[in-house]
Amino acid sequence: MLELRFSSGVLFLWLVCCGLVPMVKSGIGVNWGTISSHRLKPSTVVDLLRENKISKVKLFEADSDVLRALMGSGIQVMVGIPNEMLPLLSSSTAAADLWVRQNVSAYVGRGGADIRFVAVGNEPFLSSYNGQFENLVMPAILNIQQSLVKANLGGYIKLVVPCNADAYQSSALPSQGAFRPELTQIMTQLVQFLNSNGSPFVVNIYPFLSLYNNGDFPQEYAFFEGTTHAVQDGSNVYTNAFDGNYDTLVAALVKLGYGQMPIVIGEIGWPSDGAVGANITAAKVFNQGLINHIASNKGTPLRPNAPPMDVYIFSLLDEGAKSTLPGNFERHWGIFSFDGQAKYPLNLLLGNKELKNARNVEYLPSRWCVANPSSDLTNVVNHMKLACSVADCTTLNYGGSCNEIGEKGNISYAFNSYYQLQMQDSQSCDFDGLGMVTFLDPSVGDCRFLVGVTDKGSDSSTSQTTYQWWILVLVMILHGTFWLSM
């Protein structure tokens, strides 16, 4: 068995080196998340994608408004199924049939959305889930695959499972990579399925998190600019965390006998705010370095001249309503701000030298809520807590772009964030007389006081609403009262 595992990896490298494996240019795509308090119209976002010649997009759920906007765009789509739906889809073929019909079949076809992949779960093997979803993944995949076949889509739409990089591990060197022991069996089943159906292995790699979570992690090793902390692995030398992490996965796949399996990077990026090390400069350097590295077609030491099949940058837009449990930076991964404005120059190497901003964004009037200078702000703490419990104040924290604007600046920022979230309702700037509306932009340096957008018709409750609807479907199916002919 060891000989077979070794030979499959060596064979892949030999075929590449001999030119017998065709060199395919990696596709650059983006993750489009929608957990935002100020959500752009989907049609505006699709126009933004097309303006920037981005031809691949990954969605975390089957949002009907988003899928309708993508119809006829020519953009290739990966549609996600949230982890919360895995219990239902793994236990009911009827539910799987319904999901495919309503979220895939309804949008594909002539002039429809170009759905290429369905992502079953999102990092379902994450160690922090304590195995909650592990035994649901394969049954869900098999049910969805069966449903795609019934819909005559089984040969065109591929199923994948985006995995966090913690699914595999290494004691020290990439060549020693292996899947976590408790995942060996299910990973073997998964890669067998992927291989038999022509699907890639999808992995999310975050050098930023390695740096953020480990004070001893060499900062320059997280980037692509060279390092004095290179990792020597036999004859192979690693100068950046991405290559090392990627080849750890390659080694893990080789150990299962699938060293030739194509790999897609489902998420990778760098946040621009909300923590030390999360800033505009670092985000630009990392993302441009990543794009240049992938475009060079150099590959990695274990896969020379064979870069990932596709790379999806995380993320397209900031998502101001995301959970901050991992860190305040979670709301600041976008290469564009929430309103579709480029944060920094970035050449995606897709035809434009720089990012192009979203057009025709419908903003609220140019006015802001700030602390009233004539008021006694002694008792403002509770008002700030209220504002920041609802609105996004993460840039005020240590390492954030608004961390050094002073006490009154902090108060004004919190007040304004709440005011914009409430669509500039006059009462939302009262705060017992402590707030006032101004028409002078209070932004200071890199600290931007936002003005909201007018599209209140779409909000961040979509995922929860969808999940609740599917729970209702489950109850009805179990009671035999749901007609699939609806």
Catalytic residue among 51, 61, 134, 267: 267
d(CA 40, CA 374): 36
Residue 148 amino acid letter: L
Is 161:192 a contact under the CB 8 Å cutoff? no
Tokens 């008002």, residue? 383
Catalytic residue among 123, 330, 362, 407: 123
d(CA 135, CA 34): 28
Q: Taking the alpha carbons of 311, 316, 318, 319 in that order, is the dihedral positive or negative?
A: negative
Q: Give the H or E element holding residue 15.
A: helix 2-17
Tokens 């290494």, residue? 170
Closest CA to 287 of 337, 231, 344, 203: 344
- Chain-centroid distance, C-alpha 200: 17
Helix (H, G, I), strand (E, B) or coil at 28: strand
Active site residue 267: yes
d(CA 142, CA 84): 17
d(CA 335, CA 316): 6
d(CA 135, CA 87): 9
Closest CA to 120 of 137, 132, 96, 139: 137
d(CA 461, CA 440): 32
- Residue 425 CB burial class (10 angstroms; 0-12, 13-18, ≥19): exposed
Active site residue 404: no
- The strand ranges marked E within 87-132 are 114-120
> Which residue(s) pair with 368 in the sheet?
438
First to last CA, the chain: 51
Is 59:29 a contact under the CB 8 Å cutoff? no
Is 78:118 a contact under the CB 8 Å cutoff? yes
> SS3 letters for 167-203?
HEECCCCHHHCEECHHHHHHHHHHHHHHHHCCCCEEE
d(CA 332, CA 273): 6
Residues written for the chain? 486
CA separation, residue 260 to residues 198, 202, 251 (Å): 12, 14, 10
Catalytic site residues? 123, 267
